[in-house]
Chains A and B, each alone.
Chain A
Amino acid sequence: MTTTNGSSPNGTLVKDTAPQDGKPVVELRGAGKSYGNIRALHGVDLSVRPSQVTCVLGDNGAGKSTLIKIISGLHQHTEGEFLVDGEPVRFSTPREALDKGIATVYQDLATVPLMPVWRNFFLGSEMTKGPWPLRRLDIDRMKKTADEELRNMGIVLDDLDQPIGTLSGGQRQCVAIARAVYFGARVLILDEPTAALGVKQSGVVLKYIAAARDRGLGVIFITHNPHHAYMVGDHFSVLRLGTLELSAARSEITLEELTNHMAGGAELAALKHELAQVRGVDVEELPEESDLQVTPAAGGSSASDATR
């Protein structure tokens, strides 16, 4: 193990028992998406089951955001199938996904900078009170709820009325995550939620993911960080240039293998060679090409103590 920054003894937040295979809530079969003549995604299979965390990894531009935008209703797939509860669907707006209990933390956070924090938190799903012609926002309840949810994340804001644009990037990310956790009833999608976060808040986000999973939610967790992914993930999918390069259950892959896969395999070995010629760069810890022969289908963890 290269890292043990989790709280439990084995360095992970994964439950002891293997997750039982429920029916997938969300499933993609050979799904793809083209933006005009750019084929951003092609032939991707993915299933999200209750009480499971599906991690999606991949380089920049690999198509991760495109993948989740299909599921969250922001874009429509142009090939393959997208099923919710076994029924083929095609969401035309994110509202439809939200109504099915699918909530998303977008990479760009989807906040409105000039609006107050609490209004952003409840935007699109406002709490109201009173009969129709006089139906109005339940401002006190919304402020109170937003404050509680943010405090649970370890974010204390003195003034929920300040425009969200005045918060730091990480604080904004926390608001977006707290919002999705609050509204996600069945599926929670997080697009690089820890990208701008400090160590403490990253830990909180991982705990949130674990907690959501324990509540029976299906979670899609997109990240560049294999350590984060391995701490909570039950299933790992690696995208590369829009296609699925690896799809493996937790039992089929080790952290080292995942890390190497993520790092770009052979490319990294080549990089190591180049770096070795630059004085002062320590390449000892980088993997050799021989470490990178990962066979995703291989069961067990025989490669877990790969030589270094």
Chain B
Amino acid sequence: MQLALQQFINALSLGSIYALVALGVAILFSILRLANFAHGELMTTAGFTLYMTLASGWNWVLAVIAAIAASVVAALILERVAYRRLRNAQPLTLLMTSFAVSVALQSIFLLTFGARPKGIELPAFVDASFRIGGMRVQWLDIAIILITAAIVFGLTLFLRKTVIGLALRSAADDFQTTRLMGVKANALFVGAFVLSGMLAGIAALFYFATVPNVVPSSGFEPMLKGFIACVIGGLGSLPAAIVGGFLLAFLEVGSDALLSDNFSPYLDAIVFLIAIVILRWRPGGIFGVRLTAEQRV
């Protein structure tokens, strides 16, 4: 019972991270039909920023702000340099570009920081925990879960109450008609990239707080999980991305708990297999959404 509760908290915390990554991926996909593989490198950018600032003695609050800011700035640079000219490109062109951008960024990290893992000097409170009954709970997990809930709430308000938020939603549904409302296409793209960058930065904070060292390829695994979460939930829908993130985490934690230790090296393979079965059953994801190819600008 206690163990189950502990696993439940683990899964919620891991699911929060996956949900944040999946949300960041889904925002760009829903509006631009862009599968941004470089989302992982946005997270890595935040990771290296965290490493550098903490290593040079910054206050952790400032380091956190710097990490999120770095990820947002990187997202804006990607928009401007790599994707702005490709708004009406074929899906395959977009896919190849996003792949190339991801590899290019990893090379830049490699040249700048080398291949050796950089240990992030996390503040001590990250390891703090408390006990309920015989169960030990990490404050970090509680913080991740609560902050993620607050972010989802804030994002929902933003998308419902502000004009740019409404426009981001309507653009995902019908881009042309959104422009017909006088909404600037550039504002939509920049808005989407800023949101995506922010989500990548926050997800990176949580991710590197649980895995406190960063290498050039650090972002790949969480990015992959985020994409799988999106696909399981249903590509292009934000609520689906959140559900997909939690589902993936529960699959992972559940398989790990239920299977014997002999299987742990194959955990990812097992989880992906389950994901494939889900997609065989519902090819559009659990909340299968319709996708239309239409001109963006």
Chains A and B belong together in one complex: no
